[in-house]
Structure 1
Amino acid sequence: MTQMNSSTGTDRFDVVVVGGGVLGTSVAARLAATSASVCVLEAASDVCEGASKGNAGTACSYYGPPGTLETELINRSYPHWEELCGRLGVAYRRGGAIMLALDDAEAETLGHTLAELDEAGVRGEMKTPAEVAQLEPLANMATVAGLWMPDEGVIDPMALTVAYANLAVTNGAQLRLNAPVTTIRRLDDGSMELATPQGTVRGRYVVNAAGVRAGDVSELAGGEPLRSWPRKGQYAVLDRRFAEQLQRTVFCTHSPTTKGINVVPTTHGSALLGPTAQDLEDAGDTSTDRDQVEALIESARRLVPSITRDVVIKTFAANRPASEEPHRLRFDQTVANLLHVTNRSAGVSVSPAAGAYALDLLRDAGLDAEDRPDAVRALPSTPRLRTATDLNTLFAQDPLYAQVVCACESVSAAEINRALTSPVPACSLDGVRKRTGAMYGRCQGSLCAAGISFLTALHTNTGPRDVKQTAHGTVGQ
């Protein structure tokens, strides 16, 4: 249970998690299912506002070389996506992926990649050009060879992060939003006191899951220097007119320096092209660049030539945390009770196992955290109008399912209301989008934003012009 220090007004927890992205919330969800008291501090006004909000949504079976902790955690995670997403109500599809080689040099590289897959215990199979065409008819006909990876999947990364957060809060974790950590003070008893604009908390252990800000948090805690920087990835979103023809994720052949541009069908029915990679100094720079987007589209056309610019409905960018240490799930070398949990590009893919691994590390370090038999493991299901097969039953369950607010994505007022009343409720139009998929379609909210603003205003006790558009501005602005 949370304890209050009566002399200072400081809440005390067994574990304080800094960061409300996919890794921070996955750790919090696992810890909250134990007897440990947990608090999550998130700098933004909602969870999933950093790299977890802007990625391709691939749930990988393979990402890095064998023998690394990252690969071990992916191996522990990918066989269980159906079970996890089933109880969390998160969209997931294991459609497999094909990696294309468009010349002999790339075909040789695919051979090395297959050897890595074998060594890592991951399924993969080389395919002829004819077999590639059967797996993915849109693939470039000039393909020399393909590497088929049947266990690759796609997931809704924003819904996953929100679900982890909902599960953590349901099981008793505290979530403090708009709570960037400004100072960290190490106390005589070994605990740490973290000051935020929302008050001060004390933790016996601190989990640093702050993404691109992880180096700042380590410095505040007196920990080891963690050099990290934002690496911008730009994406293009393609509408269903194209995406409904795409059967598999299409990867380019990896190079020694980059995983390159990929074509990914999403769980919402669209498709994503990306990401690019551009190292920055400003973590807040999420602008897109016309030249970069044009280059992105051309790179994607190398894999799938039928992509045309007229099916692009949106471009966006997000910053992932780059560092010399691509994956970090370990205790600090200087501060014994500071646990670093960061990943450059595969945070979604390692997240199911990362929570359990972090708990094991904390227990080994002395955290008394027994699994609670009464802990909630599954979230209440929220039926989706777009995928419902029995509309009469759905309308009887809640008549507001018959009130379509977002026509492009078939999102009803019932779904939006649930997003606005969940354990971690949406507080902005963007928050509703993350939880329901509203405004994902071709019109990008131009037709439905007014209705979503109205419903959001009702639940947040604000006027429609004062409803938040994103974490940084209102509809009226």
Structure 2
Amino acid sequence: MSTQSFDIAVIGAGVIGAAIAAELSRHDRRVVWFEAAHDVAEGASKANSAIAGCGYDLAPGSLESDLILESSEHWESLCRSLDVPFRRIGALSLAFDEGDSESLKNLANQAGAAGVDAEILSGDRLRRAAGTAAPTAVEALHVPAEAIIDPIRLTIGLAKLAVLNGVELRRSTPVTGFWHHPSGNISHVVTPGGAVAVGAVVNAAGVNADRITDAADAEPFTMWPRKGQFMLLDRAVGHLVPKIMSTAPTPETRGIYAIPTTNRTVLIGPTADDRDDRADKSTDADTLDSVWARAQRLLPDRVDRRYVTKTFAGLRPASDRTYRIEVSPKVPNLVHAAGIRSTGVSAAPAVARYVTNLITTEVMTLAPKSAALRDIPPLPRLAEVTTDRAAEEFACDPGSPPDKHPMVVCACEHVTAAEIAAECRGPVPATSLDGVRKRTRAMAGRCQGAYCSVGVSFILSSATGQLPGGIRQGEPGSEWEGAEQ
């Protein structure tokens, strides 16, 4: 039996688990955080629509709606503190016929009931808001509070904050079981590395949350993956889509989206297909053809498929009940944060506070730390500064060592060697090429790493002490040494 002991264990390092770990790090308790994958943000948190919603399209009064509304008020300050890109650009839900217009009226009433400002635009006002996008739209519901965010940087930023303030993050450490006290409480979390004594457990395992509740002999529930396929458009046309654009919702679907990103590209999608395979992130030509066809009404006429630089899929955690955030009725020290589907990013900060309150009121007391909390030191990023500031901050010093050098390694995304090296040695360091990409956007541009991956691999090798052939693309088994030539 392991002699290690923690007050609270958090399971899952997506955006919900990261937000909970960061919130718990503010309190005077020992927290251990388990993630089965090799890195944080490896599930739905790295493959979603990148929207920080304000809840206008949800029926008011639900837990989901309340938590999204609460989170929406604080995004600006939170993202500044975490060094996370965020822009409140607004959204347009578009009508193309009378049926769509009726849907917009219902949506406007719903937004009003939730206390969210929204207005139906037409004519010149619509054209000013939409620019050249959606040229055949006749009306739109404009919601100024809708925002875009970098969900990967958000998850990583929250993880860094948690680790800097004392949370012990264990990556590549799946939870395989639990031991219990005679009272029914969980006494230990079991992993391949041994058992760890805990006082409470938070189940934030995403699409695998049902497997955690089964392993804990708690109440059963069912999760499954809902696949969403996306297309990414080059930033050359990013300025032509000024707001989050969507078709009007129907009883069957919330519609398709064209979403400007914080990196000035445009996301098209997603689909919503319920599947069985929890690891299948493949895309297929027929679905992507459908996505493109449905998105045509949202895009300017001049945007064609030649501007697509990447396609990908994410698996959202669907469930037999959404927003299952509660203390288990069968295992008194197990707290579920499950079934948080496609709005996880939008609700994450408030979900973390809600879970912390549940722990305080029903599981154990939590007192704020007496010592000052540590903040995330900002990392200068060449792509995010003006030309004048770049000339000053990234001026080349011939004597700089390679890991401090301002040399641009990724030309597509303007990422320097110093930025990559810093993220390979930070509080939650990158250990793979995918990890570097998530933290810096190196290899995420037009060439998708064709020109810069060797340079990134060299810096990662230097920072980690791994031989170049041992550098992994992502999970163990993806080493370059074993890749096909």
TM-score (ref. length: structure 1): 0.96
Q: Assess if the C-alpha contact under 8 Å between 2:226 and 2:315 holds in 1.
A: yes
- 1:199 shift after superposition: 2.8
Q: Per-residue displacement from partner, 1:32-90 (whole Å, max 9, x unpaired)?
A: 11001111110000011001111011000124211111111111111211100001101
Pairing partner for 1:295 from 282, 290, 294: 290
Find the residue that maps to 2:29 and give its secondary structure. Answer: coil
Match of 2:349 in 1: 352
Q: Is residue 136–residue 248 contact of structure 1 (8 Å, CA) maintained in 2?
A: yes
Q: Which residue of 2 aligns with 1:382?
A: 379
Quote the residue 1:406 is aligned against.
Answer: 410
Aligned match of 2:457: 453
Q: Secondary structure at the match of 1:244?
A: helix
- One-letter code aligned to 2:280: D
Specify the code of the residue in structure 1 equivalent to 2:244. Answer: T
Matches within 5 A, 1:186-265: 186-188=180-182, 190-265=185-260
Deviations 1:398-455 (A, max 9, x none): 8545300000000011110111011010000110111111112111110110100110
Please state if 1:49 is matched with 2:48: no
Q: Shift of residue 10 of structure 1?
A: 3.7
1:79-128 deviation digits (Å, cap 9, x = unpaired): 21110000110111111111101111111111111111111111111111
Alignment check: 8 A CA contact 1:60 1:78 kept:
yes
* Separation (CA, whole Å) in 1 of partners of 2:266 and 2:374: 31
Residue 141 of structure 2 aligns to a residue whose secondary structure is strand
How far 1:366 moved relative to its partner?
Answer: 3.5
SS at match of 2:259: strand
Shift of 1:245: 2.2
For residues 51-200 of structure 1, the aligned pairs below 5 Å read 51-62=44-55, 63-188=57-182, 190-200=185-195
Any conservation in 1 of the 2:189–2:197 contact (CA below 8 Å)? yes
* Structure-1 separation of matches of 2:422 and 2:314: 27
CA RMSD in angstroms, aligned pairs only: 1.5
Specify which of 360, 367, 371 is matched with residue 370 of structure 1.
367
Measured after TM superposition, the shift of residue 198 of structure 1 is 2.9
Deviations 1:191-216 (A, max 9, x none): 33111123322221111100010000
Q: Counterpart of 1:376 in 2: which secondary structure?
A: coil
Q: Distance in 2 between matches of 1:411 and 1:198?
A: 37
Q: 1:373 to 1:396 in 2, by over 3 A?
A: farther
Q: How far 1:382 moved relative to its partner?
A: 0.7
Q: Which residue number corresponds to residue 314 of structure 1?
A: 310
Counterpart CA distance in 2 for 1:241 and 1:305 is: 13
CA contact (8 A) 2:396 2:406 kept: no
- Matched residues, number: 470
Cα contact 2:136–2:297 (8 A) shared by 1: no
SS at match of 1:44: coil
CA distance in 2 between counterparts of 1:142 and 1:335 reads 55
Give 1:235 deviation, angstroms.
Answer: 0.5
Distance in 1 (CA, whole Å) between partners of 2:182 and 2:471 is 44
Amino acid aligned to 1:475 = W
Q: Could you tell me the TM-score, scaled by structure 2's length?
A: 0.94
Where structure 1 has 5 or more consecutive residues not aligned to the other structure, the ranges are 1-7
Amino acid at match of 1:22: V
Q: Is the 8 A contact 2:25 2:166 kept in 1?
A: yes
CA shift, 1:303, in A, is: 1.7
> What is the identity, as a one-letter code, of the residue corresponding to 1:293?
L
The alpha-carbon deviation at position 392 of structure 1 amounts to 3.6
